[in-house]
């Protein structure tokens, strides 16, 4: 199982972590990426298959204190963050001017 953190644009968002099977994770994160934006996930996949995968993932919330790492992050309603993750890899995050964030 791999842990996915959800970063939501809602004011009451709590940034929960959910466990995904390797197959579910691979449906969401393609080409060794670990950052995903939900609109791109659905644009690049089969909606029905993704709906089933997310239905299962949402049943597996992991308490933050019990999480053994975060393997991927999904952004909801935060398209303005796409500029910081052009490669969709967290370690390669950049500022809009191209300089590294870390």
- Provide the pLDDT for residue 22: 98
- Tell me what the mean pLDDT of segment 21-37 comes to: 97
Per the CB < 8 A criterion, the answer to whether 3 and 17 are in contact is yes
56 belongs to a structural domain: yes
User: What are the residues facing 6 on neighbouring strands?
Assistant: 74
Over 90: is that where the pLDDT of 44 sits? no
Q: Rounded CA gap, 64 and 58, in Å? A: 15
Give the structural domain span for 48. Answer: 2-92
- Provide the pLDDT for residue 84: 97
Q: Count how many domains the chain has.
A: 1
Q: Which residue has the higher pLDDT, 44 or 24?
A: 24
58 belongs to a structural domain: yes
- Tell me what the mean pLDDT of segment 66-75 comes to: 98
* Predicted structure pTM score: 0.94
18 belongs to a structural domain: yes
Q: Rounded CA gap, 30 and 24, in Å? A: 11
Q: Rounded CA gap, 30 and 33, in Å? A: 6
100 belongs to a structural domain: no
Which helix or strand (DSSP H or E) is residue 19 part of?
A: strand 17-20
* Mean of all residue pLDDT scores within the chain: 96
Over 90: is that where the pLDDT of 102 sits? no
Over 90: is that where the pLDDT of 55 sits? yes
At 78, the pLDDT band (50, 70, 90 cuts) reads very high
102 belongs to a structural domain: no
Q: Are strands 61-62 and 17-20 parallel, antiparallel or unpaired?
A: antiparallel
């Amino acid at each position: 199982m791999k842990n996915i953190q959800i970063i939501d644009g809602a004011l009451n968002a709590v940034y929960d972590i959910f466990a995904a099977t390797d197959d579910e994770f691979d449906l969401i994160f393609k080409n060794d990426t670990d950052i995903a934006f939900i609109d791109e996930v659905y644009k690049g996949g089969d909606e029905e298959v993704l709906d089933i995968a997310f239905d299962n993932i949402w049943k597996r919330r992991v308490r933050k204190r019990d999480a053994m790492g975060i393997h991927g992050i999904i952004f909801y309603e935060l398209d303005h963050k796409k500029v910081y993750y052009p490669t969709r890899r967290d370690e390669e995050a950049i500022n809009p001017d191209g300089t590294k964030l870390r």
